[in-house]
Chain A
Amino acid sequence: MTDSSSWPPQLDPRRAAQIRSVVMAEIHDQAAPRRRRRRILTVVAGAAAVLLAGAGTATAVLLYAQPDQANLGYCAPVASLDRAVWDRYAFGAVQAPDGTWETLDAVEACAAMRQAGVLGAEFQDGGANAPDELTACIVEGELVVFPGGSGTCRRLGVPEAAVAP
């Protein structure tokens, strides 16, 4: 914001560019929704199958995949923006009998997956060495839970999750 003597203050070019990037990213995302949905469903189905077979504690939040962003999240082994690192283990919310989706607690879901020990070898910090804190961030529009405290998202340069973390 620039001019403080008139109202409203004029949008400054830097902020306009930030808004532009969000708008254009959304436009490009709309161009390939079907491809994204297939990939996400595959990942979630794989994670859910492992959990259903070997762990009972986390299944409440892992039964179904939901390709809607608000009902989907990823559990990352380390704080990294590399998609190949964070998008391997996804989880989804549970659909109630009336068709509504329960609120997804992403941090709780990821913690349950870690405690259940069903994630890959890259999650070497499980059990007694589990991270004290997990934080949900937004990366490329996806809900991603990283190990670390509240400053994790800021250090990565991404916003914290605004949707029920």
Chain B
Amino acid sequence: MDRVAVADETALAAAAAQGDAAAFGRLYDLHVVRVHAHCARQLGTVQDADDLTAVVFMEAWRRRDAVRVVDGTVLPWLLVTATNVARNHRRGLRRYRSALAKLPPPDPVPDHGGEVAQRMRTADGARAMAAALASLGATDRRVVSLCLIEDLTYQQAADVLGLSHAAVRSRLSRSRRTLRDALLAAGYDPDANGSEGDGDD
């Protein structure tokens, strides 16, 4: 991320905190793709990811006074918000049910044999990962989501979660074992499919 982007995002977050909807819309534009992918990974499906993405940003607006800028970007904070919302996503969907009703259904995905088969294989792994994530405690899930899935550094995760660098490292070490056991129990070999990164700092 370059210096211009860093400066812009900090200013946008400050303006949004003051109620500037246009500034908030710009933050949406910057990060919606990453947030949407994160929501899909948290749920293990894309079916609810659209709705959950909307909920994340509506929650972000509702809690805009609490937005935390880390290394000049609000993305880590949005990802944490997405992780939190995903844990209680049914409740979040209910809270914003009226607003979400305005969202038209997604376009149907064309069926192209081999592509669908590939999608099924990757989606199957995603579901296994989502189930494994659900087996973690709240804080461990946030740490894993930021460091192993979104490739944030340990320090960035520590800053946005209010943890020490050592605590992030320790939680990751423990969570890796938990995730691995959960994936293996689900019949999914994480080593064979490369679903985890090293997460090195």
Contacts and interface: CB of A to CB of B under 8 A. Distances in A.
Interface string A2-24: 00111111110001101111111
Interface stretch (A82-90, A109-117, A121-129, A156-164): A156-164
B106 A7 contact: no
Interface stretch (B70-78, B95-103, B131-139, B163-171): B95-103
B25 interface: yes
B149 to A, nearest CB: 11
Contacts, number: 108
Please indicate which of the listed interface residues B25, B54, B96, B101 has the most CB atoms of chain A within 10 Å of its own CB: B101
Nearest to B28: A20
**Chain B interface secondary structure, helix, strand, loop or mixed?**
helix
B118 A11 contact: no
A28 B102 CA distance: 14
Given A19-B53, A23-B28, A24-B25, A8 B37 contact: yes
B112 A4 contact: yes
Interface residues of B, number: 42
B61 A159 contact: no
Interface string B49-79: 1100110011001100000000000000000
A141 B21 contact: no
Interface residues of A, number: 34
B57 A8 contact: no
A16 B33 contact: yes
Given A1-B109, A7-B123, A159-B102, 4 more contacts: A4-B119, A6-B122, A21-B102, A70-B98
Interface of B: 21, 24-25, 28-29, 32-33, 36-37, 40-41, 46, 49-50, 53-54, 57-58, 61-62, 96-107, 109, 112, 115-116, 118-119, 122-123, 125-126
14 contacts: A4-B116, A6-B122, A8-B37, A9-B119, A11-B53, A19-B50, A19-B53, A19-B57, A19-B103, A22-B103, A23-B61, A26-B96, A26-B99, A138-B102
